[in-house]
Each structure stands twice: as structure tokens, then as C-alpha cells.
Amino acid sequence: MSFSSINKTTLLLTGVLLILIGLITVLYLNLNHQATTTDGNQVSSEQARQELLALRESDHVYGDRDADTMVVIYSDATCNYCRWQFMELLNLVDATPAGEVAFVYRYLPIWNTRSEVSTSEVYAECVAEQIGDDGFFMYHETLFSSLPPRERLDTIDESFMKYAAENAGSDLDELRLCVANFNNQDRILSDHRSGGALNIVSVPQTFVVSDTEIVDFRRSYSEAVFRSAIDELKQ
């Protein structure tokens, strides 16, 4: 075989290889552009994200449930940055005209225990069962303000939870019974599952959600940063 024939064969094989690589890349990107919804249907990732972040009846909301923009945070009480982010989002809603922005809080553990519920999550749900979302957010505001600052906690002492629940207006006798007999784990685990479906690997992770667009923030940011993102979505 001549040298020129070898070169032609090499070029041909190289061309075929490049075409195969291109086809595999396109296939890979198409597969990764899809996500599975809870009913098993394959949809575009953006559509799946909209479905997962859509307001649920069971969601805890600070502000108007019919607000134009929802800010959804996945958070863990043991995470210092989550606690700081929580306060910033409260300030954001408080400083915004009613009906424009609401804040949705969802649970997602910082540790790899997403098939379990934590004691602080149970306390929060029991407070919410007694006195609704106002109590739920007051519980967290008090709890987060009481915990040691700038510290990542392995666990939270239950005395902090009782203090926060009482400050939120919870009846402690009813609270004790609710915590001891809590049977609504799936309410909490549904947050864990949706966080997993969104591929969240660390918290806090926050999503600014409008009717047509989602902007996500993978660390903690100031109120001003979220306000800027919301203003851009309105344009």
C-alpha cells in the first residue's frame, strides 16, 4: 500500500471518528436537557424546574401567596449561611410593596440525611399546625437569631427549639404532644425530594421564580442582589 493510500485511509477513519464523537455529544446534551417529573414524564429541564418550584398548597409562605414573584429557598437550620439568608429574605419581603414578592421556605438538610426528618423540622411543622405560617416564620426567625453566629452546627439543642416555639406563640403542652406523636413526615420529605430532583448539592440554594423565568442563587446573597434580580425579571 502506498503512502498516499495510508494517508487517505487515516483521514477517512479520522473523519468517521469525529462524526461519531459529534453524534455522541449531541445525544448526551439532549439527554441532559431532560428531567423526569414526579409522574415519570420526560420534559425539558426548564419545564421540570418550573413544576418543581411551583407553589404547593403545603408550602410555607411569608407574604402574599398570589405575589407576582416567588423566592424559594432550600435551607437547613444547622447552616449559618442559611440562617443569614433567611433574615435577608424576610427583609426583602418586608421592604417590598404587598403582592409583589413572597418568600417560600423549604427544608433540605446540609448533611446526607435526606431520607430522614430532623427534630428542628418537626418542631417547625408542629408550630405551623398550631398557628399557621406566621408562627412558622416567627419560629425560624427566633431560632436563627438565638443560635451562635457564624457557626455550622452538627445538631441544635432542643431548648432553642422550645424557646423559639414559645416565642412564636405556640402552646407548649400541645407542642410537646405534637412532637412526640408527629406523623406528617412526608410533608417534610417532599421538600427533601424536590430539592434532590433539582440537583441541589448544598444549601442555601435560592430560586427567584416568575411566570416565565427562573434565576437561581447557589450561595447566600444580600437583599439588594435579590431585588436587582426581581427588577430584571419585570423588564
**44 occurs within a structural domain:** no
Q: What are phi and psi of 101, to 5 degrees?
A: -140, 140
The number of folded domains in the chain is 2
Same domain, 17 and 74: no
Whose cell is 430584571? That residue is 232
CB 160 within 8 A of CB 146: yes
CB 198 within 8 A of CB 218: no
**37 occurs within a structural domain:** no
Average pLDDT, the chain: 85
Give residue-wise pLDDT tens across range 40-68: 333 448 889 999 999 999 999 999 999 99
Q: CB neighbours (10 Å) of residue 76? A: 22
CB 179 within 8 A of CB 134: no
CATH number of the CATH domain containing 99: 3.40.30.10
**81 occurs within a structural domain:** yes
Q: What are the cell numbers at 60?
A: 410555607
> Cα separation of 89 and 87, whole Å?
5
Would you state the pLDDT for residue 150? 65
Would you state the pLDDT for residue 41? 39
Same domain, 80 and 24: no
Residue 111 clears pLDDT 80, i.e. is over it? no
User: Considering the entire predicted model, what is its pTM?
Assistant: 0.80
Residues 143-148 have a mean pLDDT of 90
Least confident of 16-20, 23-27, 102-106, 215-219: 23-27
Would you state the pLDDT for residue 198? 93
Would you state the pLDDT for residue 225? 96
Residue 18 clears pLDDT 70, i.e. is over it? no
Residue 168 burial by Cβ neighbours in a 10 Å radius (0-12, 13-18, 19+):
buried
Domain with 19 in it: 3-32
Residue 114 clears pLDDT 60, i.e. is over it? yes
User: Going edge to edge, which strands form the sheet with 205-209?
Assistant: 60-62, 101-107, 69-75, 205-209, 214-217
Q: CB neighbours (10 Å) of residue 4? A: 8
Would you state the pLDDT for residue 8? 57
CB 61 within 8 A of CB 137: no
Same domain, 123 and 230: yes
Least confident of 24-28, 39-43, 49-53, 152-156: 39-43
Q: Which amino acid is at 41?
A: N
